[in-house]
Structures are given as C-alpha cells and as structure tokens.
Amino acid sequence: MKFSILTLFPEFFDCLNNYSIIGRAIKEAKIELETVNIRDFSQNKHGQVDDYSYGGGPGMVMQVGPIYRAIESVKKNNSKVVYLSPKGRVLTQKKLIEYSNLEHLILLNGHYEGIDNRVVENYIDEEISIGDYVLTGAEIPSMVLIDGIARLIPGVLSSEESYSLESHYNGLLEYPQYTRPKEFNGLEVPDVLLSGDHKKIEQYRICQAIRTTLENRPDLIDRSKLSDIEKKYLDYIESERR
C-alpha cells in the first residue's frame, strides 16, 4: 500500500523510516511512504501557499491552487484522498480496516486556520478527525492513520492474532495483560492466567474485556454483536453493579 502525504512539513515524517514496526514495513516494501511539499506547487516566487480569509477573521487560510496541484501530482485512478480535519468524521477501527484494503491513500495535511473550502467540496473523498479536539496541524493525525492502517496490512505484524484480539477490533476493549515477574511489590498476577487451563483463561479474558469496556467505554457495547457467551458475562457483570 502506498501513502502520499501532502504537507508543509515533509521532514516531520522522516522518523517513520526508523520507527519500530512501521520502519520495518517500509524497509520490507509492505508499505510505501511518499511526502509531497505543498509549497512546491505555489506559483508565488516566495512559495506562499496561504492568504487572508475572505470576510475577515483571525489567521491565514491555505489556498486552493497549491493544494489542488499537489493532489493532482500524485493522484491515480485507484487513489483515495483524505483530509485530516477536526470537522471530519471521527476515526474508528472499522474505518482503518476499510482503508487497509486500498492501494493508494493520499493524506492532505492542513495548517493555519485550515484550507480553502473549495478543496473540501471538490477535491477530497473523505474528511477524517482523530478526536474532538484541535491540533496545530494535521501531521500527527496523519501519523495516527498511517500507524493504524499499516499494522493491518498482511505481513506487517507477525500474525492476524496480533491485532484481531486488540481493543476496538471486535467492538470491545482488550482484556488486561500481565508478564513476569509473577509478584511485584505484593501485586500478583491473577491465578487463572498461571493455571495452564486454556478454556478458563479464555473465559477469564472474555469476562475482563467486557468488564473493561463497560467501565471505560460503555458506549461501545452493542448486544446485537456479542456472542452468547459474551452476553452471559455482560449480564453477570451488570448484575454485580446493581
């Protein structure tokens, strides 16, 4: 899969070439990262890509022309153009899975007070937000998208199991994890995880995943999507809380 990143700060993404699993995926050609400097498409001798907002208001707005030309320089028939913006739909695991099946994703990074809305209305396919807050630019949100998508691409992680049991993948948050030592400062690993009984361990983890989701993100729980055993544990945990 190829990512084309349209930005005013292409050097921001250099760190990904050596960053953990993402860096390895790049080296193994599982994913390709291309950065495009939007300033290169300015027709101003000073490389200006922003101007004052029509109607007044604080700050500067990125111009339609340089952004359009930057998009066109990398866009192909199989490309999807995503604009990272706090006004977009909030990113979900389902959306990451959808994107992971694409061949080419163009990530448009705005800055300043945003971009000329003619870009949004005519030259992008989707507007995505990583949360209900505002950052100084879209470079960090783009990194979030790249990381979240790349790890779903076959061969990037060691196996499908590495992500299929994680938080949000199946609508529940992940169960708690433990490792050595068995005891630390009087805090012990739950006995069931040391029992060697795989059925009991699986049941424990299902129960803990539901408990964690109910306590931290009850809005994620959709009974219609739960298995019979998950519904059973949900009913039991809810009865405890009454």
Burial class (CB in 10 A: 0-12, 13-18, 19+), 21: middle
* 23 token code pair: 């860096």
Q: Which residues are annotated as a binding site?
A: 110, 130-135
Residue 62 CA to residue 51 CA, distance in Å, equals 7
Q: Which residues are annotated as a binding site for S-adenosyl-L-methionine?
A: 110, 130-135
